[in-house]
Structure 1
Amino acid sequence: MTIANKVAHAGPIAFSQSRDGDGTVRLAVSGELDIYTAPRLREPIEDILADPDTTRLMVDFAHLDYIDCTGISVLISGRRLAQRLGARFGVVNLRGQVLRVFNVLSLEHVLAPDAQACS
């Protein structure tokens, strides 16, 4: 008897980025950030922070519908990398269920400390 593993993909994820003149990069994330899609966020975060012209990375969740602990883990890793490289890191435009996850985990002050100034 063979048992096939069926995994339901929660949903797609998409990224877009913009850079302003002071070294701030805004990485907009839309869709769902879960165990299947979170690893795809790691690469753009690392690439953006590796650029010596980047002084600040703002991850914009205005169009993010869902986040799980895997997505949170990628963000925490990104924050640590930014600190090592001397850049600032934050999350902006938290809303709905995504904001609720941040509040439950008490991460809104860690990962989104200056959200008001950057949104």
Structure 2
Amino acid sequence: MNITVNITEQTEDQVRVAIAGEIDAFTAPKLREKLDPISTKDPITLIADLSQVNYMDSTGIGVFVGLFKGIKANGGHLQLVGLSDRLKRLFDITGLADIMDINPEVKGGVE
């Protein structure tokens, strides 16, 4: 079980990260460690590309909920892009798809 988190694009007010691997109880702390510093910037748009994530459990959902709350509290925006049908369903079942910005396309971005 491993995970990689790479910043693929960064401007003053927008950061795009590519996440690959599995997000579970073992890898979630590493993901949180990489993303939390980004979430404290005022205000930031974080675009998280999940197209290479092949598994996520409730621990991963918790990471994104915390990230969403932190970014929103600072006046920013979180967008999740590139979700597989399985990941999209996970966010739908939990009701998070109704409050988070989820775009099945990889491009994403806030105009």
For the superposition of Structure 1 and Structure 2, which TM-score range results when normalised by the shorter chain? 0.7 to 0.9
Q: Which moved more, 1:55-64 or 1:20-29?
A: 20-29
The offset of 1:23, in angstroms, is: 1.9
Give the one of 15, 22, 26 matched to 1:32: 22
Identity %: 26
Structure 1 stretches of 4+ with a deviation exceeding 4 A read: none
Q: TM-score, normalised by structure 2?
A: 0.83
The offset of 1:109, in angstroms, is: 2.9
Map of 1:63 onto structure 2: 52
Q: Which amino acid aligns with 1:71?
A: G
Map of 1:74 onto structure 2: 63
Larger Rg: 1
The offset of 1:20, in angstroms, is: 4.3
Per-residue CA deviations over 1:78-104 (Å, capped at 9, x if unaligned) read: 000001111111211111322221222
Tell me the number of residue pairs that the alignment of Structure 1 and Structure 2 aligns: 107
Give the one of 38, 45, 54 matched to 1:48: 38
RMSD over aligned Cα, in angstroms?
2.0
Give the one of 3, 7, 25 matched to 1:17: 7
Higher strand share: 2
Q: Which amino acid aligns with 1:48?
A: I
**Cα distance between partner residues in 1 of 2:4 and 2:99:** 24
Query: SS at the partner of 1:19?
Result: strand
Q: Which runs of 5+ in 2 are unaligned?
A: none
